[in-house]
Structure 1
């Protein structure tokens, strides 16, 4: 078997990979999307099964009002003392001099939970990980934030001992292990004990096309005692612009039962418009930051090296002792909303799905209209990741608005400033109509306006479809579910990419989603009923 990168396509950033016996687990960032932390398991590193997210209650995670791309940054999953340990950061400020955040710790004896109530650790910096020393001591290792405008904001990698009796950090033990190199922006640390050394893996260069991972090591955990791996960075694609995979860096190391080594890192697959250079801009990453896995070997000086060179490979040899895992490689799915709970692929913004947002079961999803999709509060939407460049998604919706302030339909969404949708609303002259609108850098555009499509009298349900074709996407509608009519609007998919959002906004970490939404900013809570949702991946080239 071969691992085809990205191993976890679509928005699956900042992987933390571990092995427990013969099973591998990966935890990924989820930012403002609820539930918090995405988990997968596998026995072969090729096929990955999606697990319940650990942060599934407001006791464990409360992100109400968090900014876009705030929330859960770079969770760290580890296993020690017969249980799973999960360290996660909830970031409340993303723009400006400050990164207000809190780091928490929760544990569980089973990967599917229940997870313990979170313990507050500190707010020193993000990307915190827990290191379990062979001598029984435990340390929190983290990026350290400096708000002072006359200092670099990334102030090295700090190590602080955790008192295992009180489960509190001991601030007076804090020390800076590593300042990184001149590339700067050192973050995402993970510590390992291998062959008499402490190895520190850390990301640098920012999570863009200059991204990289470096390795440093030391015989001790003394301050500033770590030396950097000589030669090229451990992994980067900054100097491999023609490679299919880009942005590799931040990640974690794991070994197999048979003694092989692998490294899981974030990555991206940018594309270009036909009239653009493939180098500048290097491209648009609409699927967000994904997880790739590379094989690692150790040189004769005891340094880890990526097999095939620091740019990595698309097809990677799976572990020799891999146990084939029963999980599909395609993410196509169909949801009739018959189950008493939403499946694991669905996400909501900042808060869990509750009766306030709507209900589901018995073959339908009801969404109660609240604030607009431009809000950071009270948004009635369920959405799932784009996990392929080319796909069709469709739904069937019933909605009877009595005001143009009421809307319901199918959306492609990045964040509150970047999204579009096709929806039912009210026109004072035509009655119920279909409109397509886009929010681009916070600027809202209605595309049909006076030509909004009138819904014939007597039509109860309207079918909506979006066709995503890598560089562009469009919307269609039907009044019978068989004859589809295309709305004459072609939208640029780049608007829903990390790279586009980065040009004007500091939070650019999540990738595009497709979902179902209802809005009633008049405050009368009009309800939309969705009959099903279908997501079908196509040839992904």
Structure 2
């Protein structure tokens, strides 16, 4: 008989934002953002995905990553945790957000590796500065690919911009080859971010978050026979969301989508506000 663990939510209380989960052999590991706090990037361990223990940190020495003077919530964002089967190395890709003033994000993306999930981890390898939510995909042909949200604030561009693919060479410690924009979203919800690539049965699957970080948030999946695309959107997109109906919000920088929570209540609040403060 199969034994099931009882899940008691939240499985990780407190300060554990942006979780990235990796299954490796009989274990699960989870990395979280730590923003401008040290030690940087928490690593948790679990055997059943329901019960987690804090196991280690990636950055224990401020000399490896300078965060002094960083405003909250900038700092270390959205670590991606992966394992390269060919070399047996664990990889973490993360964004260091320096400044968010005026919606003109100033950030750098780095990668670190280790032979053990408990470290020690390498010195940060600079990747790019085009956006955030960068992740690393290790293909079965030995190639490595960085996929990033390109943040473009110019008028006429979707905000955020597009999902960008770049080949990564671990031996050279840098990105190589051309930069390719592979998606501008699988829906019209806007606020495209958090790209990850997976491979299954000959297809490359691009998973993204769309619709913002509030009440319109959704998980979207597209697929392609080639990693460079073109990617086709699943007809059921978004595959997970609390707001299932279709809506168009491309180019709208509002990430919370407060109006999608309860429009009738918000309409009453707005009517009261206007009548109370009109002259």
TM bucket, shorter chain: 0.7 to 0.9
CA shift, 1:232, in A, is: 4.2
Deviations 1:342-370 (A, max 9, x none): xxxxxxxxxxxxxxxxxxxxxxxxxxxxx
Q: What is the match of residue 147 of structure 1?
A: 153
Query: 1:34, CA displacement in angstroms?
Result: 1.8
Aligned counterpart, 1:43:
47
C-alpha spacing 1:279/1:22, structure 2 compared with 1 (3 Å):
farther
Distance in 2 separating the partners of 1:238 and 1:51: 36
Q: Alignment partner for residue 237 of structure 1, among 202, 226, 242?
A: 242
Of 151, 169, 173 in structure 1, the residue corresponding to residue 175 of structure 2 is 169
Partner of 1:62: 66
2:126 paired with 1:104? no
2:7 corresponds to which of 3, 18, 25? 3
Measured in 2, the distance between the counterparts of 1:10 and 1:279 equals 33
Select the residue among 122, 126, 133 that pairs with 1:120. 126
Distance 1:37 1:158 in 2: 24
Aligned ranges for residues 272-287 of structure 1 at < 5 Å?
none
1:90-124 alpha-carbon deviations (Å, 9 max, x no partner): 00111314111111111111112111111111101
Is 1:227 aligned to residue 227 of structure 2? no
1:10 CA drift (Å): 2.8
In structure 1, which of residues 179, 182, 189 is the aligned counterpart of residue 195 of structure 2?
189
Which residue of the other structure, out of 8, 16, 32, is the alignment partner of 1:28?
32
**C-alpha spacing 1:161/1:187, structure 2 compared with 1 (3 Å):** same
Note if contact 2:144-2:167 (Cα within 8 Å) is conserved in structure 1: yes
What is the root-mean-square deviation in Å for CA atoms of aligned residues?
2.0
Aligned position for 2:223: 217
Hey, what's the Cα distance between the residues in 2 that align with 1:145 and 1:222?
19
Mapping of residues 243-392 of structure 1, within 5 Å: none
> Are residues 165 and 210 of structure 1, via their aligned partners in 2, closer, same or farther at CA, if it must alter by over 3 Å?
same
Aligned pairs for 1:457-472 (under 5 A) are none
Paired residues of 1:59 and 1:117 also in contact (CA < 8 A): no
- Give 3-state SS (helix, strand or coil) of 1:96's partner: helix
Q: Is the 8 A contact 2:238 2:244 kept in 1?
A: no
CA distance in 2, matches of 1:228, 1:20: 29
Q: Equivalent residue of 1:238, what SS?
A: coil
Distance 1:236 1:92 in 2: 31
Q: Which residue of 2 aligns with 1:14?
A: 18
CA distance in 1, matches of 2:193, 2:264: 26
Moved over 6 A (4+): none
Shift of 1:190: 0.8
Query: CA contact under 8 A between 2:159 and 2:190: conserved in structure 1?
Result: no
Contact 2:168/2:175, CA 8 A, preserved across alignment:
yes
The answer to whether the Cα contact below 8 Å between 1:124 and 1:144 also exists between their aligned partners in 2 is yes
SS in 2 for 1:130: strand
- Name the TM-score, length of structure 2 as normaliser: 0.82
Residue 29 of structure 1: how far off its partner (Å):
1.4
| Structure-2 separation of matches of 1:65 and 1:200 | 35
Q: Judging changes above 3 Å, is the alpha-carbon distance between structure 1 residues 74 and 279 closer, same or farther for their aligned structure 2 residues? A: farther
Distance 1:232 1:128 in 2: 22
Contact 1:217/1:228 (8 A) holds in 2:
yes
Look at both structures and tell me which one has the larger radius of gyration over its CA atoms: 1
Residues 101 and 111 (structure 1), Cα distance of their counterparts in 2 relative to 1, 3 Å cut: same
8 Å CA contact 2:221–2:237 kept in 1: the answer is: no
Counterpart CA distance in 2 for 1:114 and 1:278 is 51
The answer for the alignment partner of 1:274 in structure 2 is: none
1:85 matched to 2:87? The reply is no
1:145 is displaced (CA, Å) by 0.7
Distance 1:64 1:231, change over 3 A: same
Greater helix percent: which structure?
Answer: 2
> Could you tell me how far 1:280 is from its partner in structure 2?
5.3
Number of corresponding residues: 243
CA–CA distance in structure 2, aligned partners of residues 127 and 232 of structure 1: 21
